Amino acid sequence: MITLHHVPGARSLRVLWLLEELGLDYRLRNWSLTDGSLRSEEFLALSPAGRVPAIEIDGRVIFESGAIVEYLAETHPEAGLAPAVGEPTRADYLEWLHFAETQANILQALNIHHIFLRPPSARSRPLMALDTKRLAVTMRALEDHLGAHEWLVGRFSAADCMMGFNIDAMFRFVRAEGFANLCAYRDRIAARPAYRAALEKDGGMTLYTRDFYELPDA
C-alpha cells in the first residue's frame, strides 16, 4: 500500500492529485507545518529536510515532489502522463515540471512573510515586494505559454499536476487581471474530477484565510 505524507494545501497536493489521476490506492497521513512534527525523528527518517511530500512506495521512501511525480508517471506509462525519453515533447515536459518548483519557492517565501512570520513586524516589505514581482514574472511566462497550449506540454501530463500547489496560491499574491490564459487554465484544472477528488481528500485550503494578501504599508 502506498502512503503519502501530506500537509493540507502544501506541495504534497501535487502528488495527491497525481495519485487520483492514476487511480491508485493509497493511504494519506497528514502532518502539520506548525506543530513541530516535521522535525521529529520519525518524519526526518522519511524526508531528511523535514519537508512534505514524502511517499512510501515499492518498498522505499521517496521525497521531493518533482522526483515523486516523475517516478509515479514513469512507473505507470499506460496512463500516458509523461512523454517518454526520445519523444519530441520530453524536454518541454521536464522544463515545465521543474518550473513549478521555481515558482513554488517564491510562493513559499510569500507564505512565510504574509502568514507564518511572527511577530508581523519581523517582515521585510522590500523582500515581499521583490518576491511579488518575481512571482508575477513566472505567471507572465505561464500566461504567454498557455496562450498557445491547452496544457503545459500539449496534452495533460504530470507536469500539470506539479501546478497543484501553485495554481491556488499564486492568485493570493498577484491579481488575476491580465492573466486570462492562466485563469482559463486554472478553470480547466478545477474541472478535472481527479483534482476535485484530491481537494476533497486534502480537506480544503486551510492555509489561506484571505482571498488576497496585499503588501503591507511601507
Ligand X SMILES: N[C@@H](CCC(=O)N[C@@H](CS)C(=O)NCC(=O)O)C(=O)O
Shortest spacing between CB 101 and ligand X, in angstroms:
5
Exactly one of 11, 114, 145, 172 binds ligand X (CB under 6 A); which one?
11
Contact 93, 100 (CB under 8 A): no
By CB under 6 A, the residues from 128 to 157 that bind ligand X are: none
| Smallest gap from residue 171 Cβ to ligand X (A) | 17
In angstroms, the CA 5 to CA 94 distance is 24
Query: Contacting ligand X (CB under 6 A), which of 2, 24, 33, 197?
Result: 33
CB-wise, 50 or 216, nearer to ligand X? 50
Q: Any idea of the CA torsion for 119, 120, 121, 123, to the nearest 10 degrees? A: 120
- The residue count for binding ligand X (CB under 6 A) is 13
Report in angstroms how near the CB of residue 148 gets to ligand X at its nearest.
27
Tell me the closest approach of the beta carbon of residue 147 to ligand X, in angstroms.
Answer: 27
Q: Establish if 65 lies at the interface with ligand X (CB under 6 A).
A: yes
> According to CB under 6 A, which one of 4, 10, 16, 106 is a site residue for ligand X?
10
Which residue of 4, 18, 22, 38 would you call a contact of ligand X, by CB under 6 A? 38
Contacts of 144 (CB under 8 A, 6+ apart): 181
Q: Which of 8, 45, 47, 56 has its CA nearest to residue 30?
A: 8
Instruction: Specify the residue, 97 or 189, whose C-beta has the smaller distance to ligand X.
Output: 97
User: Does residue 103 interact with ligand X by CB under 6 A?
Assistant: no
Q: How many CB atoms lie within 10 A of CB 183?
A: 15
What sign for the dihedral angle of Cα 168, 170, 176, 181?
A: negative
CA distances from 158 to 80, 155, 171 (A): 9, 10, 22
Query: Taking CB under 6 A as the rule, does residue 56 contact ligand X?
Result: no
| Cell triple for 155 | 496534452
Candidates 5, 6, 51, 113: give the one binding ligand X (CB under 6 A): 51
The order of strands in the sheet holding 60-63 is 26-30, 2-6, 54-57, 60-63
Among 101, 149, 171, 215, binds ligand X (CB under 6 A): 101
To ligand X, the closest distance from the beta carbon of 17 in angstroms equals 14
Residue 28 touches ligand X, criterion: CB under 6 A: no
Query: Do 26 and 2 form a contact (C-beta atoms < 8 A)?
Result: yes
What residues line the site for ligand X (CB under 6 A)? 7, 10-11, 33, 38, 50-53, 64-66, 101
